[in-house]
Amino acid sequence: MSEEILINITPQETRVATVENGVLQEVHIERERARGIVGNIYKGRVTRILPGMQAAFVDIGLERAAFLHATDVLGRTHAPSATAARAPEAPERRATARVSGPDGPPPGRGETAAPPGIAELLHDGQEVVVQVVKDPLGTKGARVTTHITFPARYVVFMPYSKHIGISQKIGDDVERERLRGLLKAALDGEVEGGYILRTVAETVSEDELSTDVRYLKRLWQVVQQRMASAPACSLLHEDLPLALRAMRDLVRENVEKVRIDSRETFVKARDFAINFIPEVAERIEYYPGERPIFDLYAVEDEIKKALERKVPLKSGGYLVIDQTEAMTTIDVNTGGYVGRKNQEETLFKTNLEATQTIARQLRLRNLGGIIIVDFIDMTDPEHRRQVLRALERALARDRVKVYLTEMSPLGLVEITRKRTRESLEHVLCEPCPACKGRGVMKTAQTVCYEIFREILREARQFGADKYLVIAAQVVVDLLLDEESPGLLMLQEFIGKPIHLQVDAQYSQEQFDVVLM
């Protein structure tokens, strides 16, 4: 599968698009005025302990305090000091969450005591070094952890651990043992810190691993120096800008080209590649064309489509995607597809096609959290099994951790997808000021009847010589046309005249009743 990465640079924002076989799969956007902070390391100060939630709020110098759960406190044996150069061995649990098989955590030591609570780990006013694992989302502050990690091209360094793990996506046992041996050779007997070999490390050489290890150790030394001298609520380490993060995290063997439309960023990316991923350097190209690079690959059109609720399928069916604060729902419909055989076969084919589109839309829209997929009901158990397996295979290509459940009797599949940054819709859009994000508005007729009730309420409570109704044009037009008999009956009932006035600034739902 051929893949290209397109990087569009403007003074205001950086956009990265991943295109597979000519089809847009992912979009990453970073704006200068609202850069993501995932991966940044701060020296924070605990501002509030929440025993009922086993969590604490930590001031890291941002608008909203960060959220630190007890399970994210280093070791859960003591709170990590902001000035400590070393910490006790970090629990292998977190390091091995991404690995499997022989690289799992060591056997338990038979400990039965309950882990300490948040009040035993932290206290108000304490300084603590934390790393952001989730950007602030909506009204929530950033999610942070004291389990510090530093990702490089092939290796993730964990300074507070001694564990060596290998990505579970590297399934070949021989290759896993080879990589383990190479990493131990690159460490040259040193035991400080733990490491996880990333998926892209497959077939890597010892020299390439050694380069990563040296870079990560130097980086950790710099951060340690800043930890000792920086004041509380300050930034200790900032992750790479989006263009270079894309080079580090997105460029793999199947990436044929990386095209960048900024000469300055092209030079930085090429230098970064020469130093850390030399095999990729020749694939980086500067795009000087007059036609915008995203227009050239139809990326702009695909981004616009990704903001719509309805997603068409080639067969004639379609998906309806709705995002709410609690979850995202995806409804599969046959639409105009009638099939060629029987109804069961038609439903099966539509659901099967939908699995590929669903997996792509999750990546493209960066949907996270709880996702409920409502497939069309199928009576054949084998068809249900095949649809679920097809969805699993499609989701396997996702770089983000995804988990899905078995299909329920109602045809529902629950998916959880790790959320670390805002969805595409939240980055590019804001709630409608008229409907406040509900997606619906009261009809003009409903507003007319609300006006009638409000006038009646005012007439009973207060005395007035006349009433003035200020509303949108469509509401006033309806009051003067279809609802005019009701308006006349109301005037006769209260014995006072009612005047109407249009305000172009009012939305359809807005109105005021003024006593005169």
SS (H, E, C) 449-486: HHHHHHHHHHHHHCCCCCEEEEECHHHHHHHHCCCHHH
Residues 358, 505: one domain?
no
Q: Give the model's pLDDT for residue 113.
A: 62
DSSP 206-270: HHHHHHHHHHHHHHHHHHHHHHHHPPSSEEEE-PPPHHHHHHHHT--TTEEEEEES-HHHHHHHH
More confident residue, 85 or 246: 246
What's the mean pLDDT in 157-169?
87
C-alpha separations of 113 from 51, 55, 90, 106, 444 in Å? 18, 20, 18, 18, 64
Q: Give the model's pLDDT for residue 107.
A: 43
What confidence tens digit (pLDDT) does each residue in 285-294 have? 999 998 999 9
Residues 65, 164: one domain?
yes
Residues 19, 68: one domain?
no
Sheet holding 194-197, edge to edge: 150-151, 155-158, 194-197, 164-166
Which residues are paired to 265 by β-bridges?
none
Q: Which residues of 248-259 are buried (b: 16+ CB within 10 A; e: fewer)?
A: bebbeeebeebb
pLDDT band per the 50, 70, 90 thresholds, residue 327:
very high
What's the mean pLDDT in 114-122?
85
Q: What is the CATH number of the domain that holds 132?
A: 2.40.50.140
pLDDT reading at 315 higher than 90: no
Q: Give the model's pLDDT for residue 142.
A: 92
Indicate the residue among 240, 265, 288 that finishes a domain. Answer: 240
Residues 198, 122: one domain?
yes
pLDDT reading at 99 higher than 70: no
Q: Does residue 437 lie in a domain region? A: no
Q: Give the model's pLDDT for residue 189.
A: 67
CB 76 within 8 Å of CB 266: no
Q: Does residue 435 lie in a domain region? A: no
Tokens standing for residue 112: 């039965």
pLDDT band per the 50, 70, 90 thresholds, residue 414:
very high
Number of other CB atoms surrounding residue 196 within 10 Å: 24
Tokens standing for residue 219: 């980086």
pLDDT reading at 92 higher than 50: no
Say what percent of the chain tops pLDDT 90: 55
Cα 241 to Cα 95: distance, rounded to the nearest angstrom:
25
Q: Give the model's pLDDT for residue 80.
A: 44
Residues 343, 407: one domain?
yes
pLDDT band per the 50, 70, 90 thresholds, residue 79:
very low
Q: Does residue 433 lie in a domain region? A: no
What confidence tens digit (pLDDT) does each residue in 417-475 have? 988 778 999 889 988 887 777 788 899 999 999 999 999 999 988 878 999 999 999 99
What confidence tens digit (pLDDT) does each residue in 34-45 have? 788 889 999 999
Q: Does residue 505 lie in a domain region? A: yes
pLDDT reading at 98 higher than 60: no
Q: Give the model's pLDDT for residue 90.
A: 34
What's the mean pLDDT in 22-34?
89
Indicate the residue among 264, 280, 300 that finishes a domain. Answer: 300
H/E run at residue 447: helix 444-461
Q: Does residue 110 lie in a domain region? A: no
Indicate the residue among 282, 300, 318 that finishes a domain. Answer: 300
pLDDT reading at 108 higher than 90: no
pLDDT reading at 266 higher than 70: yes
Find the DSSP H helices in 319-380. Answer: 343-365
What confidence tens digit (pLDDT) does each residue in 229-239 have? 899 999 999 98
Looking at the 3D structure of the chain, how many domains does it have?
A: 4
Residues 175, 47: one domain?
yes
Residues 222, 247: one domain?
no
* Ranges 185-189, 263-267, 497-501: which has the least confidence: 185-189
What's the mean pLDDT in 2-31?
93
Residues 467, 390: one domain?
no
Q: Does residue 16 lie in a domain region? A: yes
pLDDT reading at 188 higher than 80: no
Cα 301 to Cα 482: distance, rounded to the nearest angstrom:
42
Please choose, from the candidates 67, 68, 53, 69, the residue with its C-alpha nearest in 3D space to the C-alpha of residue 140.
67
Number of other CB atoms surrounding residue 188 within 10 Å: 8
Residues 76, 220: one domain?
yes
Q: What is the CATH number of the domain that holds 507?
A: 3.40.1260.20
Residue with tokens 């009204």: 139
Q: Does residue 438 lie in a domain region? A: no
CB 23 within 8 Å of CB 273: no
Residues 285, 350: one domain?
no
Which of helix, strand or coil describes residue 34? strand
Please choose, from the candidates 486, 509, 482, 487, the residue with its C-alpha nearest in 3D space to the C-alpha of residue 500.
487
What confidence tens digit (pLDDT) does each residue in 483-492 have? 999 999 999 9
Quick one: DSSP state of residue 73? S
Q: Give the model's pLDDT for residue 338.
A: 64
Mean pLDDT of the chain, nearest integer: 86
C-alpha separations of 130 from 76, 163, 227 in Å? 14, 20, 11
Q: Give the model's pLDDT for residue 263.
A: 95
Q: Does residue 192 lie in a domain region? A: yes
More confident residue, 191 or 80: 191
Residues 46, 169: one domain?
yes
CB 328 within 8 Å of CB 334: no
Residues 16, 50: one domain?
no
- Determine the structural domain holding residue 279 and report its residue range: 3-34+243-300
